[in-house]
Structure 1
Amino acid sequence: MTDLLQPILRAAAEVILSRPGLNGEEHDAARFAVENRQMIVDALVQVPALRSKLRRDLRINRDQPDLKAVATLLLSPDDDVVQAGLRLAERLGRQDDTRRTLRKRHQAKIDDLRGRLETARGRHEHAHRALQSAKGALADAEKRAEELDTQAAALQRRLHDPRILASTLLAALQRVPDAADGGPETRDPRNLRAETQERTEPPFLLAAQAAGIAPEALATALQAIVTPSRPVPAPPRVTVSGERHLRVHPLGGADEIGGSCMLIEAGGTRLLVDAGLRPGDPALPPRDIDQALAGAVHAVVVTHAHTDHCGYVPALVERLPDLRILATPETTELMPRMWADSAKLMSERERLHRRWGADSEVLYRRDAVEAAVQRCEEVPFGVVRRIGDLTVELFPAGHILGAAGVVVQAGGQRVVITGDISGFRQETVDGYSVPDSAREADLLVMESTCCAEDHDSRETRVRDLVRAIEEVYTAGGRVLIPAFALGRAQELAMIMRRHLPHVPVLLDGMAADVTSSFERITADRSAPLHILGGGVSRAQRPDDLDLFTSGVVITTSGMLTGGPAVQWAARILPEPRSALFLSGYQDEESPGARLLRLVEEQTSYLSMNDHGVEKDIPLRARIEMMRLSAHADRRGLLDVADEVGAREVMLVHGLRHRQRDFAKVLEVRGHSPATTGRWGGE
């Protein structure tokens, strides 16, 4: 009722307050009307003149029909009509109060429903994130299960292959036991090999004593099973004489980085050192691999498990079912994971292309990976293996876990292939160790990835990286480090554990999977690698993409070509307090190299492809190259050349113009550079 009468009562209050008795006193008409409501109502009923004045002066809007009806009755000259108006106003007021009460109840229900809706939305979003996280975990589990299935199937086949079993036993018996761990320095094979052999009884001697036969007889028997005595067919168009001159022919990775492959021949034996993939979409085989496949290929020696050195091996096994695959025990453990990942990526690309009606062929599938795993033979460092007319010996090359250089001998000649090599000690592996069998060789085939660079010391580069990460973390940002899954990611994680234990670190993508392999492979050693744990953990996508707001993310791919790194970059690059640090080699056409060029040009965004969707990502984060190379630089390569002291040096695995300049440096140093191409055969 108050709402309908209030305008009338206020107007009446203004008239009353204008009377001489109250004129000049400060009164608020609205407040006066509220405080003296009953007196004003009585005045309206009892004073017709007041009603008459209000009928003349009161203005009511057309959109207030209820008020107009009440005013017409309440201001009527007839006293009975005024009473009726009061009753009507009271009834309408009660109805209005009821409406307000109902509106409040309705609004309360609306607010309650909105609250429930927000709660439901929150639960839905949480469930969606949990579902996405579960899908990611399921995908990872399926990937690991597929890998375990591949390894289990290969193991079953290996158990029925006497030659593989004999090779594994031979490798186990010839392996030099670890010495007690005394820190990183004591793990350097150059410091320990002689000392370890002196104080540790060789397993081979113990096994021979237990069997009651001479060690030489045991070795001969096992070697006869591994390499049966049978004629080795000569390749087409090759006349085999009694001579065993070595012939070397780079088939891939000669004056480019990627697709490494070296053909070595002697007599009727043809051997490959490495068979890697070239980078690209799709991945490509070694450039001239068909020249090797024109004849028999009896074995491939793999220097290490990076795909640019081993990624084509399963395709070779499909074409050469009897192919032997020789590598260090660590490399034979790591290669299946790398092969399985390559096969998966090839299959995904094939499905994508077929969806769009394009032709696409994979280089190999899962069954080829299983077959390749079965053919692997473990060869410890310092152990000689015969392959037809050739012998091979592996030696530590540094670079990554299990990486090896190769000494190949035949007919009194020796060729040394470094593979990827480094002389400095890293967190996960020590530097190279050149054996006596490699010294004064006829040919040194040496990688030249960084032959034009003089790197700062390892300690300086690590210190710069640690300082930069600490600056970003202290400012409340997060650091993304795209890294190669094998080697670089584990090195970075261990640097973080050692130097910045208070900074949380996430390992994502294949980097996390390979890290688990590193820990498993080294678990029984005197100095096992402990990488996960402490502040280092596996990423949980998609939750961590937004919830991990401060710390370091190490993930694939190292060149930003795909993988989780793209998803992380899309979120971190727009953040002014965060940073993206590239840590390794960037192919000229890769998004990583393009990002560095955009920074130089001060471009404000980067276009990246995320699962087929092109995105423009703002560039507000700090972006730098923090080179932490696992390759020897110019000085390091000169040290390798000096230590081997070969008659000739051939450069591979590098860029042609850099190799040309470095060859001049070698010549000044007293070495004889050989043309990168066919060598030997006189």
Structure 2
Amino acid sequence: MTDLLLPVLHAAAEVLLSRPGLAGQGHDAERFTAEHRQVVIDALVRVPALRDRLRRDFQIRRDQPDLKALATLVLSPDDDVVRAGLRLAEQVSRKETACRTLRKRHQEKTDQLRSKLETARGRLEHTDRALQSTKGALADEEKRTEELDTQVAALQRRLHDPRILASSLLGVLQRIPDPADGGPETRDPRNPRTGPQEGCVPPLVPAAQAAGIAPEALVAALQAVITPPQPVSAPPRVAVTGERHLRVHPVGGADEIGGSCVLVEAGGTRLLVDAGLRPGDPALPPRDIDRALAGPVHAVVVTHAHTDHCGYVPALVERLPDLRIIATPETTQLMPRMWADSAKLMGERERLHRRWGGDSEALYQRDAVEAAVQRCEEVPCGLVRRIGDLTVELFPAGHILGAAGVVVRAGDQRVVITGDISGFRQETVDGYSIPDSAREADLLVMESTCCAEDHDSRETRVKDLVRAVEEVYTAGGRVLIPAFALGRAQELAMIMRRHLPHVPVRLDGMAADVTSSFEQMTQDRTSPLRILGDSVTRAQRPGDLDLFASGVVITTSGMLTGGPAVQWAARILPEPRSALFLSGYQDEESAGARLLRLVDEQAPHLSVNDHGVERNIPLRARVEMMRLSAHADKRGLLDIADEVGAHEIMLVHGLRHRQRDFAKVLGVRGHTTVATGEWGGA
């Protein structure tokens, strides 16, 4: 509401100011009214002529009925009516002033309440974030507890298995101590031994002397426990001599990357080297695994703990309860965590599909993981283990902690299977070390992941990554590096810690859990791995998703197919000052490979599937491939082929067209290659 009397008073003031005594003095009607309001009111009461003129000249619009009514009263010829109208106007004015005061107080109170409400909302959001973070931490802790329970249950069962105990004891007794390291660290591939050290005696010798038997007899006794003699009723085995009875058949990962599995046979013995999962949704078994399972399988030798090489092993154990699982001590300790994670993901997928009426059965569950852990035998590199008509020997292969190549022997024949292999030193592991037992083998089964690539030196690639991260961090942005949980994440964290100690780093998801395992496995060595601490810490979700404003995030999955990397990408990709650096192999159908294509096409967003929900993420951040491959490139593979000097070479774990071109290069180098498929036979 407004002061209704004011227009009448302004009009009266204009008339008064037009009188000869006041005219020409520059008075303003509005200002005059404000300063001499009572004078103008008294004039209206005492000067009827003033009211007569205003009744004649004062203009009132049709949309001002209240003003018209008031003007009729205060401009009346009757003085009493005028006085009554003025009193009424003053009362209305006082009420209007009171209303304005009340409205002001009400607005102030409303503003105070709104401020308190916003504060309460902020506290509620903070509490909710803290609650979600606590829930996430509890979920991670429950997951770690479940994994630990799985391993403890399996270890308890292993303690009652004489074959496993005999295998572990034999490994300890045959290991040659290295005086330079003091014992435990000789298992670390970063410190490979070139051969037995002069004057070093394996524990087997004094143990046999204490037992009063020859060392060979003690080994034979333990070997008999590990591999009991066949019953008399069993059919006689085919004698293995210098004739070619060693047979090799890749049944997974032959001309593709993933699902690695090689069947090796001789006499009556059949073993697998690796049994991995093929990438995809859902993950699948090795492509021709039924070919291997058409007969007995006595053991699986696992080269390393990546799921594309070991992920199918628990499913094998369910079908083959007496299956022996042979791997290095490091791989044996890492596999349970990888298996448990795979079982969890497959279980979640199965439940999700059932909810929507789909059909997706998990390949195995937690009980299969426990059974697989129980069957594991730790065999350090350099020691020979007999499996029926075959013997196997592991040797350091670089790639990741615990990775090994395999020498399989039957009589005078030998096949060398590299697994994933690399020859350069990394932060967490040295390169491969080819043993004398592998040289001039009958067949070299060699991985060919990067057989078409000539990588820059590792130093150059590390410098490029460090420079790119520094640029983003200096500009105030965040860097997301999706990475494989095992090997790549730890490598990246150590690079950041070594070269950019001032840049905060968050490790998230399974990458953080495996990092803890790396530290625990190497804590008793002279060169323990120290990754967490100082600038490198565990991420705390969901809080860090928004509160960690500048630094590096290393998390799974390495191909952006799921996991915390998708949540981080949803925050970081829309930020123009931030970056996402892919660091490893990207399957053609993965979200990571699709992201690179979209960036080339300058697409506006990336679509990803996050636990069954499709999300469109704006693309404004810097996106690049900063590859730190842990595989040998073309030159590295040629060096391996030269060093082994096998009579024939078979290429696996690569793409067919690249293998075909690389086989020609090997031929020019003087090597003989064979088709990827069945090899050997009588």
User: TM-score under structure 1 normalisation?
Assistant: 0.94
Give the equivalent residue in structure 2 for 1:338.
338
Shift of 1:431: 0.2
Structural RMSD (CA)? 2.5
Matched, 1:197 2:197: yes
Cα distance between partner residues in 1 of 2:509 and 2:240: 53
Cα distance between partner residues in 2 of 1:551 and 1:423: 31
Q: Which runs of 5+ in 2 are unaligned?
A: none
1:459-504 deviation line (CA, Å, top 9, x unaligned): 0111111111111111222111111111111111111101111111
1:575-633 deviation line (CA, Å, top 9, x unaligned): 22221111111111212112222222333322222222223323222221111100001
* Pair 1:602–1:563, CA change in 2 (3 A): same
Give the equivalent residue in structure 1 for 2:312.
312
Query: Equivalent residue of 1:98, what SS?
Result: helix
Give the equivalent residue in structure 2 for 1:54.
54
Give the equivalent residue in structure 2 for 1:325.
325
Give the equivalent residue in structure 1 for 2:18.
18
Give the equivalent residue in structure 1 for 2:238.
240
- Contact 2:380 2:394 (C-alpha < 8 Å) held by counterparts: yes
Give the equivalent residue in structure 2 for 1:495.
495
Give the equivalent residue in structure 2 for 1:266.
266
Give the equivalent residue in structure 1 for 2:276.
276
Cα distance between partner residues in 2 of 1:176 and 1:571: 52
Matched, 1:513 2:510: no
1:42-72 deviation line (CA, Å, top 9, x unaligned): 2222111112222223334566555444433
Shift of 1:549: 2.2
Give the equivalent residue in structure 2 for 1:579.
579
Give the equivalent residue in structure 1 for 2:544.
544
Deviates more, 1:296-305 or 1:286-295: 286-295
1:505-534 deviation line (CA, Å, top 9, x unaligned): 111221111111111111111111111112
Cα distance between partner residues in 2 of 1:32 and 1:663: 105
Matched, 1:135 2:127: no
- Contact 1:304 1:331 (C-alpha < 8 Å) held by counterparts: yes
Shift of 1:212: 6.3
Query: Equivalent residue of 1:275, what SS?
Result: coil
Matched, 1:106 2:106: yes
Task: Give matches, 1:217-232, under 5 Å.
Answer: 217-231=217-231
Query: Equivalent residue of 1:157, what SS?
Result: helix
- Contact 2:326 2:376 (C-alpha < 8 Å) held by counterparts: yes
* Pair 1:63–1:196, CA change in 2 (3 A): farther
1:532-589 deviation line (CA, Å, top 9, x unaligned): 1121112222222222222111111111111122222222222222211111111112
Deviates more, 1:204-213 or 1:668-677: 204-213
- Contact 2:478 2:552 (C-alpha < 8 Å) held by counterparts: yes
Letter of the structure 1 residue corresponding to residue 323 of structure 2: L
Cα distance between partner residues in 2 of 1:2 and 1:586: 72
Deviates more, 1:112-121 or 1:206-215: 206-215
Cα distance between partner residues in 1 of 2:83 and 2:198: 124
Give the equivalent residue in structure 2 for 1:165.
165
Task: Give matches, 1:374-413, under 5 Å.
Answer: 374-413=374-413
- Contact 1:580 1:623 (C-alpha < 8 Å) held by counterparts: yes
* Pair 1:206–1:57, CA change in 2 (3 A): farther
Matched, 1:463 2:463: yes
- Contact 2:595 2:606 (C-alpha < 8 Å) held by counterparts: yes
Shift of 1:368: 0.4
Give the equivalent residue in structure 1 for 2:250.
250
* Pair 1:70–1:173, CA change in 2 (3 A): farther
Cα distance between partner residues in 2 of 1:534 and 1:144: 23
- Contact 1:440 1:646 (C-alpha < 8 Å) held by counterparts: yes
Query: Equivalent residue of 2:386, what SS?
Result: strand
- Contact 1:181 1:187 (C-alpha < 8 Å) held by counterparts: no
Query: Equivalent residue of 1:617, what SS?
Result: strand
Deviates more, 1:556-565 or 1:459-468: 556-565
Shift of 1:131: 2.6
Cα distance between partner residues in 2 of 1:131 and 1:681: 63
Shift of 1:246: 1.4
- Contact 2:189 2:429 (C-alpha < 8 Å) held by counterparts: no
Cα distance between partner residues in 2 of 1:407 and 1:451: 22
Cα distance between partner residues in 1 of 2:146 and 2:18: 96
Cα distance between partner residues in 2 of 1:128 and 1:553: 23
* Pair 1:646–1:196, CA change in 2 (3 A): closer
Shift of 1:675: 2.0
- Contact 1:505 1:554 (C-alpha < 8 Å) held by counterparts: yes
Q: Which runs of 5+ in 1 are unaligned?
A: none
- Contact 2:484 2:556 (C-alpha < 8 Å) held by counterparts: yes
- Contact 1:232 1:269 (C-alpha < 8 Å) held by counterparts: no
* Pair 1:175–1:27, CA change in 2 (3 A): farther
Query: Equivalent residue of 2:554, what SS?
Result: strand
Cα distance between partner residues in 2 of 1:333 and 1:620: 41
Give the equivalent residue in structure 2 for 1:589.
589
Cα distance between partner residues in 1 of 2:522 and 2:188: 15
- Contact 1:339 1:369 (C-alpha < 8 Å) held by counterparts: yes
- Contact 2:305 2:403 (C-alpha < 8 Å) held by counterparts: yes
Give the equivalent residue in structure 1 for 2:352.
352
* Pair 1:377–1:620, CA change in 2 (3 A): same
Cα distance between partner residues in 2 of 1:463 and 1:485: 22
Query: Equivalent residue of 1:115, what SS?
Result: helix
Give the equivalent residue in structure 2 for 1:150.
150
- Contact 1:243 1:267 (C-alpha < 8 Å) held by counterparts: no
Matched, 1:429 2:420: no
Give the equivalent residue in structure 1 for 2:609.
609
Letter of the structure 2 residue corresponding to residue 454 of structure 1: D
Give the equivalent residue in structure 2 for 1:3.
3
- Contact 2:477 2:549 (C-alpha < 8 Å) held by counterparts: yes
- Contact 1:559 1:586 (C-alpha < 8 Å) held by counterparts: yes
Deviates more, 1:10-19 or 1:330-339: 10-19
* Pair 1:588–1:223, CA change in 2 (3 A): same
Letter of the structure 1 residue corresponding to residue 356 of structure 2: W
Query: Equivalent residue of 2:426, what SS?
Result: coil
Letter of the structure 1 residue corresponding to residue 159 of structure 2: L
Task: Give matches, 1:651-662, under 5 Å.
Answer: 651-662=651-662
Cα distance between partner residues in 2 of 1:46 and 1:175: 125
Cα distance between partner residues in 2 of 1:179 and 1:40: 114
- Contact 1:179 1:196 (C-alpha < 8 Å) held by counterparts: no
Count of residue correspondences: 678
Letter of the structure 1 residue corresponding to residue 587 of structure 2: D
Cα distance between partner residues in 2 of 1:517 and 1:679: 39
- Contact 1:441 1:647 (C-alpha < 8 Å) held by counterparts: yes
Query: Equivalent residue of 1:444, what SS?
Result: strand
Letter of the structure 2 residue corresponding to residue 576 of structure 1: P
- Contact 2:190 2:428 (C-alpha < 8 Å) held by counterparts: no
- Contact 1:254 1:651 (C-alpha < 8 Å) held by counterparts: yes
- Contact 2:267 2:389 (C-alpha < 8 Å) held by counterparts: yes
Matched, 1:295 2:295: yes
Cα distance between partner residues in 2 of 1:319 and 1:542: 41
- Contact 2:178 2:186 (C-alpha < 8 Å) held by counterparts: no
1:244-278 deviation line (CA, Å, top 9, x unaligned): 72111111111111111111111111111100111
* Pair 1:7–1:125, CA change in 2 (3 A): same
Letter of the structure 2 residue corresponding to residue 452 of structure 1: A
Query: Equivalent residue of 1:673, what SS?
Result: coil
* Pair 1:163–1:8, CA change in 2 (3 A): same
